[in-house]
A and B are shown apart, each in its own frame.
Chain A
C-alpha cells in the first residue's frame, strides 16, 4: 500500500478516482430518476467523436470532448422537447453516430483506432497534473450544482409537468442536467473510459436504491458507493494488474449484487413482521 502511494501516478489516479466516484452518481441519480439511465452512455459515444476531433485538430482531446459532449447533450434535450423522435431512437442514433464518427475521424487523423483505446476504457494511470486540474475543477462544479440545486432538479425529474405548471423553468434545468452529465462524462473519461462511464453514473444509484426509501439518502449513498468503487477499483487494479476502468465498474456491480440480495432479504423480513393491513387501506 505504502509502495503504491509512493508513485506519483498512483497519487494522481487516486485523486482522479475520488472526483469521478463522487461526481458521476451525483448527476447520475437525476438521470435514473428521470428514467434516462442510458443518456450517459449516449453522450459518452458522442464524446468519442469529440476525442477524435481533438486527435485530428491537435487540440487537447479533453477540451474537444467536453465541447462536443455538451453540444450532443443539448441536441438530445432539444430533440426530446421539440422533436418527434422518441427518446430511445434519439439515443440509438447517438450511439451509432458517436462511435462511427469517432473511429472515422481517428482514421482521418492518420491514427489507428487503437489510440482511442485509452479513452474508451480509461487510462487513469497516465493522468497528468494538467488533466487532474481540469478533472478537479469540472467535478467540483458538477457536485456543487447537483447537490446545491437538488430541490429544483428533484422536482423536474420527479414530475416534469407538475414542475412546469408550478413555474419551475423546466427547460433550463433539463438542459443543465444534460450539460452536467456531459461534463461528468469528460471528467470520467480518463478514469473509467467513455464506454463504461455510464456504469459509474447508474450502477451506484441502482445499488443504493435497493436499501433506501428517500431520494436524499439514495443520492448520498450513491455518491458514497461511487467513491468506494472508484478508489477500491484503482487500488485493486494496481494489486491484481488489471485496467482500472473495468475494475471500478466490476466493483460497483459487486456492491449492487450485495445490496440487491440484502435489500430483498430485509424487505422479506419486514413484510413478515408487518403483514399488509387491509383495514388501514394499505392496498
Chain B
C-alpha cells in the first residue's frame, strides 16, 4: 500500500463484526484532500459503524485504515482529525458553555496542568465565529437549538484545526433552515481545503456540495459514484423494477455498481 501523507482517509477491506454478527464486509473507501464524500445508506446498513471503525471507536475484524498516510493505530496527529458525533450526545449532566465545549477541542494542543494559551483562545473564538455563533460564547449548550448544537460540535472539531471532518448524521433532526446554514458552512470549509466524510440518511441542501457518494447496503458498498445520479429523495428502499438492492432512488449507471 502506498503511503500518501496528503490523503486524509484510505480504508481497505474494512470488516467489522459486532457481537459476532458481521456489520461491515470488505469496505473500501477513500477521501482525497479537499474532497466532500457522502456515505449513504438505510438504517442498519453499517454507515455509522464504518465511521466508528475508521476513527478507532470500534475494532475492525479485518482491513486497514490509514489517516494522512499513517495506519490508524499509529496515528498520533489527532488534531488533524475532527470527529463530529451525533448531536444527541452533545449535552452532558452538568451545564457547559459553547466556549467550554469548543475549548475541549483544543486538548491535543494543550499541556497537562496548563492554562489555556492565547493561541487556544484565538482558535476557539475563530471556530465559534466560523460556525456563526459569535454572540453565543457564554450560552449554555442546552439553551441552543438542535441545529446550533450541531454547529457547536463542528466548531469543536475546527478548533483543533482539523483537516478531515468526519461527521455522523449531522442533518438528523435538524430543520431545513438550519440544514441550509450547515450546507453553507460546510461549503465554505471545503472551499478552504477541508476534507469531509459525512454520514447521512438523506442529503437535502447538502447535495450540491457532494463530490462523491458511497452507498452502503447490508455492510457492503452497493454504489460509488457522483452525486448527480441521485435524483428524487435519497431514502434507501428496494428498487422494484431492477431488482437492485435497496439503494437511493434514481441512481443512474454513472457510478460503479458492485
Q: Interface stretch among B22-30, B108-116, B186-194, B204-212?
A: B108-116
A–B pairs, 9, beta carbons within 8 Å: A149-B112, A154-B96, A158-B101, A161-B85, A161-B89, A166-B105, A213-B138, A214-B95, A214-B100
Contacts of B89 in A (CB 8 A): 159, 161
Contacts of B107 in A (CB 8 A): 151-152, 155, 163, 166, 168
Contacts of B94 in A (CB 8 A): 29, 32-33, 157, 205, 209, 215, 218-219
Contacts of B104 in A (CB 8 A): 151, 154-155, 158-159, 162-163
Contacts A161-B57, A162-B83, A164-B57; A213 near B140 (Cβ below 8 A)? yes
DSSP class of B's interface residues: helix, strand, loop or mixed? mixed
Contacts of B113 in A (CB 8 A): 148-149
Chain A 175-218 per-residue mask, 1 if CB under 8 angstroms from chain B, else 0: 00000000000000000000000000000010001001111101
Range class of the B interface residue count? 35 or more
Say yes or no: is B147 at the interface (Cβ < 8 Å to chain A): yes
Q: Which of A163, A165, A212, A214 has the most CB of B within 10 A?
A: A165
Q: Tell me the nearest residue of chain A to B146, going by C-beta.
A: A283
User: Does A165 lie within 8 Å of B56, measured CB to CB?
Assistant: yes
Contacts of A168 in B (CB 8 A): 107
- The distance in angstroms between the C-alpha atoms of A32 and B153, with both chains bound, is 21
Say yes or no: is A281 at the interface (Cβ < 8 Å to chain B): yes
The listed residue (A151, A209, A213) touching B103 by CB distance below 8 A is A151
Contacts A158-B101, A162-B156; A218 near B95 (Cβ below 8 A)? yes
Q: How far is the CB of A73 from chain B (nearest CB, A)?
A: 19
- The distance in angstroms between the C-alpha atoms of A29 and B94, with both chains bound, is 7
Question: Which B positions have Cβ atoms within 8 angstroms of A?
Answer: 55-57, 76, 78-79, 81, 83, 85, 89-90, 92-97, 99-101, 103-105, 107-108, 110, 112-113, 116, 138-140, 143, 145, 147-148, 153, 156, 160, 177-178, 181
- The distance in angstroms between the C-alpha atoms of A33 and B96, with both chains bound, is 10
Say yes or no: is A130 at the interface (Cβ < 8 Å to chain B): no
User: Does A281 lie within 8 Å of B92, measured CB to CB?
Assistant: no
- The distance in angstroms between the C-alpha atoms of A215 and B138, with both chains bound, is 11
Q: How far is the CB of A47 from chain B (nearest CB, A)?
A: 23
Contacts of B160 in A (CB 8 A): 166
Contacts A155-B104, A215-B100, A281-B147; A167 near B78 (Cβ below 8 A)? yes
State the interface size on chain A (CB cutoff 8 A): 35
Contacts of B85 in A (CB 8 A): 159, 161-162
Say yes or no: is A37 at the interface (Cβ < 8 Å to chain B): yes
Contacts A162-B156, A281-B147; A214 near B108 (Cβ below 8 A)? no
Q: How far is the CB of A217 from chain B (nearest CB, A)?
A: 8
Q: Which of A32, A148, A161, A219 has the most CB of B within 10 A?
A: A161
DSSP class of A's interface residues: helix, strand, loop or mixed? helix
Contacts of A37 in B (CB 8 A): 93
Q: How far is the CB of B163 from chain A (nearest CB, A)?
A: 14
Chain A 257-283 per-residue mask, 1 if CB under 8 angstroms from chain B, else 0: 000000000000000000000000111
Say yes or no: is A35 at the interface (Cβ < 8 Å to chain B): yes
Q: How far is the CB of B135 from chain A (nearest CB, A)?
A: 9
- The distance in angstroms between the C-alpha atoms of A161 and B96, with both chains bound, is 17
Q: Which of B85, B99, B104, B113 has the most CB of A within 10 A?
A: B104
The listed residue (A152, A159, A166, A214) touching B90 by CB distance below 8 A is A159
Say yes or no: is A133 at the interface (Cβ < 8 Å to chain B): no
Chain A 211-244 per-residue mask, 1 if CB under 8 angstroms from chain B, else 0: 0111110110000000000000000000000000
User: Does B100 lie within 8 Å of A35, measured CB to CB?
Assistant: no
Q: How far is the CB of A152 from chain B (nearest CB, A)?
A: 7
Say yes or no: is A34 at the interface (Cβ < 8 Å to chain B): yes
- The distance in angstroms between the C-alpha atoms of A29 and B95, with both chains bound, is 10
Contacts of A283 in B (CB 8 A): 145
The listed residue (A35, A151, A167, A216) touching B93 by CB distance below 8 A is A35
User: Does A165 lie within 8 Å of B83, measured CB to CB?
Assistant: yes
Q: How far is the CB of A208 from chain B (nearest CB, A)?
A: 9
- Give 3 nearest A-B pairs by CB, closest first: A167-B78, A165-B83, A213-B140
User: Does B100 lie within 8 Å of A154, measured CB to CB?
Assistant: yes
- The distance in angstroms between the C-alpha atoms of A10 and B92, with both chains bound, is 39
User: Does A33 lie within 8 Å of B145, measured CB to CB?
Assistant: no
User: Does A165 lie within 8 Å of B139, measured CB to CB?
Assistant: no
Given contacts A166-B108, A215-B95, 12 further A-B contacts (CB under 8 A): A155-B107, A158-B104, A159-B92, A161-B83, A162-B85, A163-B107, A165-B83, A166-B83, A213-B138, A214-B95, A214-B138, A218-B94
User: Does B97 lie within 8 Å of A214, measured CB to CB?
Assistant: yes
- The distance in angstroms between the C-alpha atoms of A29 and B96, with both chains bound, is 12
Q: Tell me the nearest residue of chain A to B110, going by C-beta.
A: A151
User: Does B100 lie within 8 Å of A34, measured CB to CB?
Assistant: no
- The distance in angstroms between the C-alpha atoms of A283 and B94, with both chains bound, is 21
Contacts of A158 in B (CB 8 A): 92, 96, 101, 104
User: Does B148 lie within 8 Å of A281, measured CB to CB?
Assistant: yes
Q: How far is the CB of B245 from chain A (nearest CB, A)?
A: 30
